Every structure is written in C-alpha cells, then in structure tokens.
Structure 1
Amino acid sequence: MAAFKGHFGKIPTLAMLLASTASLAVLSGGARAQTASQPATGASTQGPTLPAAPASTVKAAQDGGLEQVTVTSERRSQNAQNVGSSISVITGKTLATRNVNNVFDLQYLTPSLQVTPQFGSGQPSFAIRGMGFNDYASNNAPTVGIYVDEVAYPVPFGTNGTMFDIARVEVLRGPQGTLYGRNTTAGAINYILNKPTHTLMGGLSTQYGRFDSSKVDGYISGPLSDTVQFRIAGETQHGGAWQHDRDSSAVLGDVNRSGLRAMLDYEATRTLKFELDVHGSHDRSDAVGLHLYAPLTSLQTYLGPGQPVFPSDTARDATGWGTSPQFAKLIGIPTNQKPFSHIDTAGANLRADQTLSFATLTDLVSYDYMQRREYDNFDGSSLAIADVFFNSRANVFANELRLTSRNEGPWKWVGGIYYANQYLADIYDSGFQSVYKFDRTVQYSQTVNTISGFGQATYAFSKVLSLTGGLRVEHEVRDLNNFRAAYVDSPVQNGVTSLAHRSTDFTQPTGKIELQYNPFAHDMLYASVSRGVKSGGFTTYNSVSAQVSTAPFAPEKVWAYEIGNKAEFPAQHLRLNVSAFYYDYHDEQIQSAVVNPLTGLVGAIVNAPRSHLYGGEVEADWTPIRHLILTQSAGWATGQFDRFNSVVTATRVNGLFVGQYADRKGDSLPSPKITLNGSASYTFDLGRYDLLTGIDYSLRSTYRSLFGKLYDVAGYTLVNANVTFQPKGGRWSLEAFGQNILNKGYDVTRNYFVSGDDIAQSGLPATWGFRASVNF
C-alpha cells in the first residue's frame, strides 16, 4: 500500500534568517518611524515580548493598579471587562514565562479548559465547561474552534504545532456562531499574533532544560519603506526525552520541531491596508509512550488460559514499543521503531481592510495544508496488540467577507458571509497480530463545504444599558468518498468493505441575545441566551462494517444560558469576574459503539438525545501592595445524561448478534468538575535592575470516564515557579523556571484499545530550565 509522501526542506537557522533580514531592513533605509492607525484586529504591534513583561503589566504592578486588557473577540478592539461573555486572556509574556510549548499546556492557565491527547496520540481533544469530543480519527470537527488571527483551523491534528511570537490567547467559553468562521458548541481559542512594526526591532531567546531539552525563538520586525512593514519570527525545539523502555535503556520523548512565519503589512492608501501571513512548521518528534496501569491480560483474554500476563508498571515514565513483522512491512517501519508523530504544515492568509465612511470592509482569504504521519503503540508494550498508523493529509481554503461599523453612535454591528472548502485524504492502519492474528486498513477521502451568513448588532439605549442580538445560518455538506476497509495479513479473516459515497448535510441557525447593564462605574452585569451547533460526521476508524459504523451521526446542538458580573474596584486594586451557566444539550456526540448483526460490537460515534450541564467560573486579579500581583480562577462544571441508552455488549441469537443496552440517565458527563488556577508574582526593585519572582499552581479534579471507574483519571495539582533578572527597560533578561516542582505523578488520560490492555499517558515529571533573552 502506498503511503502519502511529503517533505519540507530544512528550515534556515534563526540566526541566519534574522541577520539577513536585519541587513535588508537597514539597507532599505526603512528605519524611519511613521504614525499609523491601529490594525483592525486591535492586536498589539509593540513587538518585544521575549525577555520582559509588557510595560503596562510592570507599571500596573509598581503603581498598585491593574493592567487593562484589550481583546478582539467581537471583531473590534474592546476592554475585556466590557465583553458580555466569559473570556480569559493569556498574554504572550505569560506563555513564555510559564514555558507553554503546545496546545496541551494551555489548560493549566485558564479555568474550565481541558485538552487531552487521544490515546496518547498527537491529536488534541478540547473541552470547555465539560463539553468536548473524543475522537482520534482525523475527519471530524472539534467542539472548540481554534483560530489564528481570525483564520479557522477545523482539522484537529493541524492545531498541535509550535506556539511562538504570540501577543495573547483569548479563550472564550460558551457557543460561538454569530461572529466566527465556524459554528462551535463549547467555545473558541483565539491566537492573536504580534504584528509588523513601524520601527526596527528584534529579539532572540534561547533556553536549556532538564532531559537535554532546548528551545530557540526570535523575531525581527520593522519597516521596508514608509508604507511597507515586515515581521519574521521562528522557533525551534529539540530534546526532552523523559520516558524509557522498560525492557532496555532506550529513551522516548525527544522533540524535533521548528516553525517559521513571515508577515508583511502594506498601506496602499490612507484607507486601504493589506496584511500577508506566510507560515509553516516541520515536526519529526517522538510520540508519547503509554504505561500499563493495570496488568496486561489481552493474550489470556483472546488466546485462552496459559498465556502470559504482563505486570502493570510501577513507574509512570516506563513504556514499551515494538510491532509484528507483518504490520512493520505494511506501514514501512522496522519492528523496533520508536513511536513517532510527524506533522508538517504550510499556509498563507491575506487580509484586506478598506475603510469606508460608515464601516470597514474586510476580506480574509486563507489556505492551509497539513500532513500527519504518526505511529503509535496503543498497547504500551513490545507486543503487537494495538499498534496504529495514521497517514493523513488535508487542506483548507476559506474566505470571509464582512462589514464592521465604525460609527460612535448607539449602534455597533458586524455582518458577513463565510465559505470554506476542506479536503482530507486518510489512511488508518491498525495491527492486532498478537491477539487477532490479523491487521486492518482503512482508506477514504472526505470533503466538507461550508457556507454561512452571520451578523451581530448592539444597540446602546443609554450609557448603562445595551442589547446585543446575533444570527447565523450555516449550510454544510460533508461527503465521505471511496471508503475501503479490509483485513490484512490474516490466514483466517478476509473480505473488503467499500462504499463509493456517503453524504450528510445540515442547514442550521444559531443565534445570541445578550443584555448588558452597568449599575455602577467599573461594574457590568450581563445575561445571555445563545444557541450553538457542531457539525455531524462519520466514524472512520478501524472498521470492516462500513454500512453500520459509517452511518452519519447528527449535528449536536446546545441552548446556553449565562449570567455574569464583571467588576473592578480601583481603590482596592481588585478585578473580580463571576459567571454561571446552564446548557440544554441535544444530540451530544459520544464515542461509543453500535451493533453489526454479523460481527458484533463495532466502535462508533453516536448521539445522546438529551443531556445537560451547569456550573460557573470565578476570576480575580489583585494587587494588594505595590509590586505584588495575585491571580486566582476557579471553574466548576457538572452534567448528566437525561436520555441515552448505550450498548454495552452483544450476544449471538439465532446466528445474529443482538445488543444489550444500558440506560445512562443520570450518569455524569466525562469531565473534571473542578479546575483551579492561581499565581503570585512579586517584583523586587534592585535599583537599575528588577528581580521578578513568581509561583503558580493548577488543580484538576477527577475526570469521570464513560467506560467505568477503572478508566477515571485521578485529580492532580501541579506547582510551578519562575524567577527573572533584568535591567529596567528589559533590554535583556536571565530567567530560571521549574515546572511540576513537587514532582507530582499523574495521568492526563486513560483508555483501552483492546480488552485487557489498560493504558494511560502520564504527565511530565519535575522539569527545570534556564532562559536568556535579548531585545534590540
């Protein structure tokens, strides 16, 4: 079977790139400053974020005040305290200080967010307020929308890349649909990038840490002429192997990942501006290994008594790998190949903003390509019990055209149309030689065409009362083509299942009504009702029962009710935001099973007709004394099924399999009920220098699994610390950091792929590192 082939050439070193670009900028004579209007996105253009805290943060701490955070979650620049929804903002400096390297680390900086790897794979699964979607296949949409400078990333494995040169991350909780490129039920994560600047500046940061890990990132930004500005940024990560093969001295977990981005801003006229972003990443990292948290009994389960039982691991950093000669030949690897996760991405987006007398017309067109070649050992051993291989390539073209009002009157509005075409070609192979004496392969392609119209308007009745209404109508067609599933390398099983075409579509409205009331200065109350929709799709993994398991599952819908209060107490230097929500959930998409009358149970995604969720969040920022900043956030979410019967087993009756079902009414939805995050930082004034110190923690309560208590993930608390020495003005800095400094042993996910094979992915042990940074 031919595998998809793709290769990115070697990315130039950051030093060569930055040096050559700096020379170009100087030779062009473009160091002249120019006064320009703020970009329509509202993102900061003040480049240096590598070594020093933003000036506003430092000044706020010194003056005993609070930093005012500007967001663009509603397509216009606003103070986050004036946005009538639950939103958390993570600055680029915080990402650097907390050593956030990928999307999985975001959950420890904001409440009610859960990011888990599927079976330990490189594909993230997002959940907000208990609403998530577990699926290790490549073809279905997530419940949480991921956006980079307003460009949607609807293919989950394409979101697990390097995170660098970021101004801030906005995490929105609740359904999104009236302002964004895609409908989502749980929320959205918006990455806002640093933009080109009108003055020449740059920065370089390098760090080294435990397990021989290293990271280098840098940027250079400035003018090429009076009307053209550029920014080039990149990052490379290496090392970090922290796991070991239980049967040898081999190690696993090295990262080998690089990313590069080039941006160009062109002010064609006083009213017309273009922004070009070209980007790519190259990943040749090891995958994360799995450990056995219960004895491995699969051989006895499938081959009978007398077969060996392998003990559970006593150390969370122990793992194992290896596969059968048949599966190795099928996917083109040696039998002792380390698990790996190789994901390459490339893309570009062009934005045009035309200022009109009454509005700004924005056209945002984007194209992104991504390729995933990943070999995982889902049994965590050297046996060929559950080995998998993903070979996927996808591309997404999207275009959004919208108008945003400019007037300062009582009306503020935005409206537009959105179109996206998404293509995926996928091969998914699974190896079961040790238990079933066969392997399986699944191949298919999928196209998704989406078109929608959206709009949202706010009317201010007075300075203290305003009403917002939004509506979106989306039509989507999802086509599954040339599906083929077959047994491979089996002396006893044969047969091929194929489908030429299968389709599902929907036309759904979403909307929002929100009332804001400001009873006092620095205090805002809001109440909202919104409806969100998540696309339906197909189960495509590991199936030779295509007619049954690939039957489309329906879109899920949610009615969300939320109230909240955002308040600041300037005299006490305190900001306190609280919110509460209730979700009425319809057709929730659940990873479960269906019954094939000829073969028995088949894994599939199904719809739970009715369920509900409720809970709330608290976020507080306080500077009780000069130089001291305290933050605390808490999230609580709990939910149950109201109507859902899931199949638990199948028995043969008169030659055909019949399912036995369990009533799941009242069963808890899978999510941690409580999330806590907090930090304390203090700046010591050392004359010409500052010493910044900080400590933070993150707590997650027990994650309840739908598969039973054995698969519950125990709650855990992580504690981190950091210290930074820098001159006032922040031209350079020296930093030291420690993560999980109490060396807490914990799992981030538990699951099983084959009965008797209970596996878990553990989180990182204690790590430490040093970072040196310089800006010019």
Structure 2
Amino acid sequence: MLLPAAAAFAQDTTESTQGDATRQAATLDTVEVTAQRRVENVQDVPVSISTVDTEQLAVLASGGADIRFLSGRVPSLNIESSYGRAFPRFYIRGLGNTDFDLNASQPVSLVYDEVVQESPLLKGFPAFDLERIEVLRGPQGTLFGRNTPAGVVKFESAKPSQEFGGYARVAYGTDNLWNVEGAVGGPLTERWSARASVLYQRRDDWVDNTYPGPNEGFEGFDESAARVQFLYEGEAFEALLNLHKRDMNGTARLFRANIIKPGTNDFVDGFDRDKVSTDGVNFSDLETWGGSARLRWNLGDYTLYSITGYETAESLNRGDIDGGYGAVFLPDSGPGVIPFASESADGLPDHRQVTQEFRIESNELGRFDWQAGLFWFDEDITIDSFNFDSLAGNALAGHAIQQQRNKAWAVFASGDFDVTDAFQLRGGVRYTKDQKDFSASVLEPAPFGAPVGGPYTVDTDVDDVSWDLSGVFALNDDVNLYARVAKGFRAPSVQGRLLFAAPGAPNGGVSTADSEEVVSLEAGIKADLWDRRARIGFNVFRYQVDGQQLIAVGGQSNTATLLNADRTTGQGFELDLQAYLTDSLLVTLGSSYNDTEIDDPGLAVPGCGGGCTVTDPETAPGSGLFVIDGNTLPQAPEWVHNLTARWSMPVGEGGEFYVYTDWAYRSEVNFFLYESKEFRGKASLEGGLRMGYLWRDGDYEVALFGRNITDTTRIVGGIDFNNLTGFINEPRTYGVEFTAKF
C-alpha cells in the first residue's frame, strides 16, 4: 500500500516547493510520550504505542460518549462493559478480564495523571481536558508494575501554566443530549498557576418499558466531573496538586430477554431496540473523588520525584438480570421463555486506595542513564451483593458481603545505554510483593442459594520479578528498528459472589486464581517518511501466559468461579499509519491481528443454562461441563481496524471548513469461555462524521456531528444462565457543537 503512495507524496512535496514560495507543505508534528516515564519522541521508544490527541478526543467523545469510545480506535484495544458507563473492562492483544465483580482485577492497567486506578469503578473517569492518551501494549511490569501484563492505558490532563487560557464547549443532540465542558487556567503568582476543568453530560431515556414495572424508560444518564490543579514552579522544585470528582446516576446496563434467535447469533424477528418489557428495578449511582501530589526536585545531575495518590469510590448498581417479566411457572411472563426471575445489585459502600511512589532519575549523564524507585499500594474495600424478588414487589431476598485489604510494594530500576550513536540498549527489573486478606459472608440467603454463613477467608502472599530488555537501532535519522522481550505479572485474585453458591460448596463458594505470568516478544519498525508527511509504526509479537486467570460466569448454576489455564498464547501484528495525502487531507489507519488460544486440555467450564447451542465437546454426556482447550479468549477479536480522514479548505481570512470521518471495525468475538452459536458477537463496523467551520485562526468552531451514523445494531454481550439475554451497543446520535478557545 505504501510503495505506490510514495510517488504521490513526492509529487505533492515537489509541487508545493515549485509553487507559491510562501507555502509550506503540511507535515506531522512530533509526538511526545511518557511511556518510559521520561518525555521522548514516540518514534524512539522501543514499545508498541498508539496515541490519541486532543482533536481526536473531541471528535470521538462527541455525543456524550464515555470511555468506551476508545474501543477499536487504536490497534488491539477493546473495551466493553456489562455495567454501562460505570465499569469499563479493557482488553489489549486479547488479554483482559470479563469478570463483573467489583473486586475484579484486570491485566490492563489504567494510569490517570501518573496514579494507577485499580478499582474497575475508577477506570471509567471521564476523558476531558486532556493533553493526550497513550496506549502501551505488551507487559509494562517494570516502570508501572501494578497488574500490567497486557499493557497500560495512560491519561494525561492538560496542566496549568503561566499563560492564561482555556476553552468552552457546548453540544446538543438527539434524545435531549447535552455535553458541556470547559477549562480555564493561568497564573496566580509568579510561581503559582492553576487550571479548573469541568464536564457535564446528560441524556434522556431512549428505551421505553412496555411492561408496567418500576421503570418507565432506560438508558438515560446524568453525569458530572470536575478537576482542579495547582502548579508551583520554583528554581529547583516543582509541585503539581490535583483534586478531582465524578458523580454519575442513570440506568445500569439494560439486559434484554431472548433477543437472540436460537441456533444463530441473529436478533429474533421483530426485535425493536427502542422497547423492552421488564419488571425489575434498574439504576446506577456512582460517586468517586480523589487527589494527588506530584513533586519534583532538580538535584543537578539527578531528579527526584514523589507521586502520592488517594482515590475513593461509592456505588450501587441494580438491574433486572433475566431481562423480562414474570416466570414460566406463572400465568404471564416474557418476552419469550423466562425460567425464573432474577434481579440483583452490587454496591461499593466503602473504598479507599492510597499509593506512593518515589523515583530518582539521572539527567543525561552520558552514554548511560538510569532511573530507580519504590512503589507502595494500599487498598481497602467492602462489597455488598444483593438479590431481589421481582415477583414479590422487588423485595430484598439475599445479601452477601465481601471485604478485602490489599497491600503491595515494589522496588524497580531501569536504564538505557548508548552502545553506539545508532544503537541503544534498554532494560529494567522490578520486584513486587503482594498481600491480600479477604473474607466473605452470607448475611441473608437467596432462594436456592447458600445458607447464612461465614466469614469465609482467603489470604494470599506472593512475590515476583518482572523485567524487560529492548534494543533500538537507527537506520538513519528517520527510521528506527526495535526489538523487545518482557515479562509481566498479575497477583492472585479472589472471587466471593456467594449468594448462588451451592450449599456445602468449599469455603462457602469463595474461589481463588493463582498468579499469572506472561512473557512477550516483539519486534518492529518506526519511521517518518517523505519529509515527515507520513509516519508509520509496525510490529509483530508473540506472547505466552502461564496460569492465566480466567472467570467462568453464569452457566446452569449461575455462579462465578475463578480458574487458571495452564497456558494461553497470542500472536499477531499492529500497524499505525498517518499521512498527509495532500496538504489538506490527513488520513490515519490503524490495524491489528490477534490470534489467541487457550492451551489446557483438562480445563472444562459450565455451559449456558439458557438454551444456547454449545459447540465445545462435553466432558461426559449430561455433565454440563465443556472443554475449552483451543478456544480463543473472550472479547478478543482477531481483527481491529480504524480509519480517520480529515479534509479541510481555507475560507476567508483565518477561517477553515473541514470534514472529518472516523471508522472502527472489529471482527467476531466470543462472550464466554465456551463457544456457542448464540453467544458470539457478530463483526461490527461503526462510523462517525463531523463537519465544521473554524474562524479566527481556530479560536471558534461550530460543527455538526454524528456517531454510529449507519445506526449499526449489534449484540455486544450476554447473560447465559437464564435465557438468551443480551445487551447491545449505543444507538446513532447526532447534534451540533460550539467551541470557543481563549
């Protein structure tokens, strides 16, 4: 594809130099990242990295989208949720965690302003007023370390400065959608500056409930977030202080009973995405807040950093799990066959996370530079799990509680050595110690579930050494080759959803997954082409996970059980391309292939309890257990492609008209560990379109936008223990937006 384009690029460059002498050919800006905890050109970093800049963020977040808008927007990244906006689950190169428990750990770490966000409820903090987003693929266990065997997603907020400025953005769209955000910042004194950022999003319910249940409509939300930062800049000392808060209330993920046609992964005939019939209570309430202090001392040849973080969350999410009304043993039920009613809620009444990192780095001492540090993590959580009787006025019918204290500390070091002017070696090592003290109790039993009992306890205490080694060779000033080998680690996980555990289950039904370890090999090329009119990054990779933590959810017994697979493998490639095809047309292309496979001949999990057609072999006729050896990982599409194109035309003095379109494709995915005809999501292609006019050199903008412009409807997840319940993607939205910068 690139070779025939070279002639066109060369021709464009020649024409621009032969034409108007004052005209300059469009070139790509240098992208600076902090993937190695230093500010570097992305082309020099021996890691597979994709970035999302501020303009892309503004486009993709149009229409009040939450963090899931990043799914498929960079190679090998998938994001989904069975909670809706509250609890995103991240997957990189097929590695992720489908567990819906509020205690679930994920192998993709989210780092917001240099502070790890461990709880799944913290990972959904809105993306607004950011400098950039970085997606670091592959194990990142040396410099980040906290549950990073799949990679890291980094968010970096726009910082205060001594220059006064900011922006305001207002958008209105379908279903009374509002998206309002803005920021203002500037100097307070010669040393101090500040920046305040706010976000408000809301949407009316767009799904009607045709059953006279507790809720008349669904899928609306009301969300606000704010961040305030203070920056002190002294002679040899700098302090960046951050406070942030989020409030969200609306409906939880909407489950829809029997929307899948048996024996296929098609919608049932007559499916209407705008209507449901359900008798359960549905809501989602979430509040988080936190703060951080990032301190830096310039000691001459060395720089010392201290990063202190505090986060807390409180939430309650309740939904109708069967997705319908009534039950088959009653005179009235539906839609379709509802074997029994199921309504539940999960809450996080108490949560606290404290982190502290000290790091020292050398300042260009010569051919060898290094950094080293200490990291400490302390988390304390309480989780409430409730069951309700939809057939008795939605009354409480079961209550269990989980409590966990997680402490971890690590020591790490990393360095880079210039072997020659063209070849650099990098390496690092990290020692981690992780301890968990867990207990769970059933306070009120659910029907047909575990009796009152507990506390059931589990204590884990592990340590591990992660490491990485890489090399970068500069073919010339524009082309770098690199290779990397890295080992990552994830500490043990504990699962204590006890309400539906079988009476007499070991330890009351608490399950534990041991540590997992991954070793990954990666090699690639990064290049600026045609006088920086184009940029390419391409890599191939292969990894092996020993003892991968998996979760078997649902099934005939409606349980959630942690497992370890003997081995999981993955291999593939990733491509990032940006190019000015003309001075007014910028195109980006991302593509990835991920081939994942579970390698464990003896591993079997329960099949569905809701009438699906499992295609895996059963361990014995009627056992209900199915061997998953050779299956792909759940929510791991083989192919992910994304494409953007921005065309612009000057208008008048300092004005510009532009058209921007973006498209994201992912191939089929399995929803569960076992494979079935029904619970396999079809390939999906969603696109966006934006047309706008900027004036006064971009200080003002008005735009029309559309998201999911083809109104693609796909089943993106399922509930498998009751009936063929599924949940679907976001609908088409469109609207108008105005932005002013100052």
Q: What TM-score does the superposition give when structure 2 sets the normalisation length?
A: 0.86
Q: Is 2:357 the counterpart of 1:400? A: yes
Question: SS of 1:559's equivalent?
Answer: strand
Q: How far off its partner does 1:416 sit?
A: 0.2
1:67-119 per-residue CA deviation (whole Å, 9 max, x = no partner) reads 21111111111111111111110012211122253221111321111111136
Note closer, same or farther for the CA distance 1:281–1:583 as it changes in structure 2 (3 Å cut): same
**Contact persistence 1:239–1:254 (CA under 8 A):** yes
Q: How far off its partner does 1:348 sit?
A: 0.8
Query: Residue 280 of structure 1: which of 220, 234, 245 is its match?
Result: 245
2:323 aligned partner: 380
Query: Residue 505 of structure 1: which of 434, 438, 461 is its match?
Result: 461
Which consecutive residues of structure 1, in runs of 5 or more, have no partner in the other structure? 1-60, 298-309, 324-336, 651-657
Note closer, same or farther for the CA distance 1:489–1:635 as it changes in structure 2 (3 Å cut): closer
Note closer, same or farther for the CA distance 1:773–1:600 as it changes in structure 2 (3 Å cut): closer
1:211 aligned partner: 175
Note closer, same or farther for the CA distance 1:586–1:722 as it changes in structure 2 (3 Å cut): same
Query: Residue 634 of structure 1: which of 583, 588, 591 is its match?
Result: 591
**Contact persistence 1:70–1:79 (CA under 8 A):** yes
Q: How is 1:186-585 mapped onto 2 (pairs within 5 angstroms)?
A: 186-247=150-211, 250-267=216-233, 269-294=234-259, 314-323=271-280, 337=281, 339-383=282-326, 385-392=341-348, 393-407=350-364, 409-431=366-388, 439-481=397-439, 483-488=440-445, 490=447, 495-499=451-455, 501-543=457-499, 544=501, 545=505, 547=507, 549-571=509-531, 573-585=533-545
Which range is displaced more, 569-578 or 218-227?
569-578
1:612 aligned partner: 569
Note closer, same or farther for the CA distance 1:380–1:199 as it changes in structure 2 (3 Å cut): same
1:713 aligned partner: 681
Q: How far off its partner does 1:183 sit?
A: 3.4
Q: Which amino acid aligns with 2:551?
A: Q
2:57 aligned partner: 95
Q: Which amino acid aligns with 2:510?
A: T
Question: SS of 2:154's equivalent?
Answer: strand
**Contact persistence 2:456–2:507 (CA under 8 A):** no
1:528-580 per-residue CA deviation (whole Å, 9 max, x = no partner) reads 11001112111122444461631321011111011111111134722111111
Question: SS of 1:96's equivalent?
Answer: helix
1:50 aligned partner: none
1:307 aligned partner: none
How many Å separate the matches in 2 of 1:494 and 1:605?
A: 18
How many Å separate the matches in 1 of 2:409 and 2:639?
A: 37
Q: Which amino acid aligns with 1:533?
A: F
Question: SS of 2:511's equivalent?
Answer: coil
How many Å separate the matches in 1 of 2:110 and 2:389?
A: 35
1:299-355 per-residue CA deviation (whole Å, 9 max, x = no partner) reads xxxxxxxxxxx98761233334323xxxxxxxxxxxxx4x11111011110111000
Q: How is 1:734-745 mapped onto 2 (pairs within 5 angstroms)?
A: 734-745=702-713
Q: How far off its partner does 1:440 sit?
A: 3.0
Note closer, same or farther for the CA distance 1:660–1:759 as it changes in structure 2 (3 Å cut): closer
**Contact persistence 2:108–2:147 (CA under 8 A):** no
Which consecutive residues of structure 2, in runs of 5 or more, have no partner in the other structure? 1-22, 327-339, 608-621
Q: How far off its partner does 1:240 sit?
A: 4.2
How many Å separate the matches in 1 of 2:423 and 2:209?
A: 62
How many Å separate the matches in 2 of 1:364 and 1:278?
A: 14
**Contact persistence 1:276–1:351 (CA under 8 A):** yes
How many Å separate the matches in 2 of 1:370 and 1:198?
A: 33
CA RMSD of aligned residues (A): 2.7
How many Å separate the matches in 2 of 1:121 and 1:261?
A: 19
2:660 aligned partner: 694
Which range is displaced more, 282-291 or 147-156?
282-291
Q: Which amino acid aligns with 1:63?
A: A
Note closer, same or farther for the CA distance 1:296–1:572 as it changes in structure 2 (3 Å cut): closer
Q: How far off its partner does 1:429 sit?
A: 1.2
Q: Is 2:729 the counterpart of 1:748? A: no
**Contact persistence 1:592–1:646 (CA under 8 A):** no
**Contact persistence 1:347–1:366 (CA under 8 A):** yes
Q: How far off its partner does 1:661 sit?
A: 4.9
How many Å separate the matches in 2 of 1:721 and 1:165?
A: 22
How many Å separate the matches in 2 of 1:459 and 1:238?
A: 51
Identity %: 22
Q: How is 1:646-725 mapped onto 2 (pairs within 5 angstroms)?
A: 646-648=603-605, 661-670=625-634, 671-688=636-653, 689-705=655-671, 706-707=673-674, 708-725=676-693
Q: How far off its partner does 1:729 sit?
A: 2.0
**Contact persistence 1:430–1:440 (CA under 8 A):** yes
Q: How far off its partner does 1:649 sit?
A: 5.3
Q: Which amino acid aligns with 1:687?
A: G
Q: Which amino acid aligns with 2:292?
A: N
Q: How far off its partner does 1:668 sit?
A: 2.1
Q: How far off its partner does 1:700 sit?
A: 0.7
Q: How far off its partner does 1:667 sit?
A: 2.0
Q: How far off its partner does 1:647 sit?
A: 3.6
How many Å separate the matches in 2 of 1:280 and 1:62?
A: 44
1:35 aligned partner: none
Note closer, same or farther for the CA distance 1:122–1:589 as it changes in structure 2 (3 Å cut): same
Which range is displaced more, 523-532 or 726-735?
726-735
Q: How far off its partner does 1:391 sit?
A: 1.4
How many Å separate the matches in 2 of 1:413 and 1:212?
A: 53
Question: SS of 2:706's equivalent?
Answer: strand
1:589 aligned partner: 549
How many Å separate the matches in 1 of 2:153 and 2:182?
A: 24
1:163 aligned partner: 127
Question: SS of 2:512's equivalent?
Answer: coil
1:370-427 per-residue CA deviation (whole Å, 9 max, x = no partner) reads 1111112222123472212111031100100001221252112211000010010110
Q: How is 1:38-117 mapped onto 2 (pairs within 5 angstroms)?
A: 63-99=25-61, 101-117=65-81
Question: SS of 1:624's equivalent?
Answer: strand
How many Å separate the matches in 1 of 2:318 and 2:371?
A: 45
Q: Which amino acid aligns with 1:567?
A: A
**Contact persistence 2:574–2:590 (CA under 8 A):** yes
Question: SS of 1:681's equivalent?
Answer: strand
**Contact persistence 1:118–1:135 (CA under 8 A):** no
Note closer, same or farther for the CA distance 1:586–1:511 as it changes in structure 2 (3 Å cut): same
Q: Is 2:565 the counterpart of 1:622? A: no
How many Å separate the matches in 1 of 2:59 and 2:557?
A: 52
Which range is displaced more, 552-561 or 401-410?
401-410
How many Å separate the matches in 2 of 1:385 and 1:161?
A: 33
1:609-655 per-residue CA deviation (whole Å, 9 max, x = no partner) reads 112111111111110211110111101101112214334459xxxxx
Q: Which amino acid aligns with 2:689?
A: A
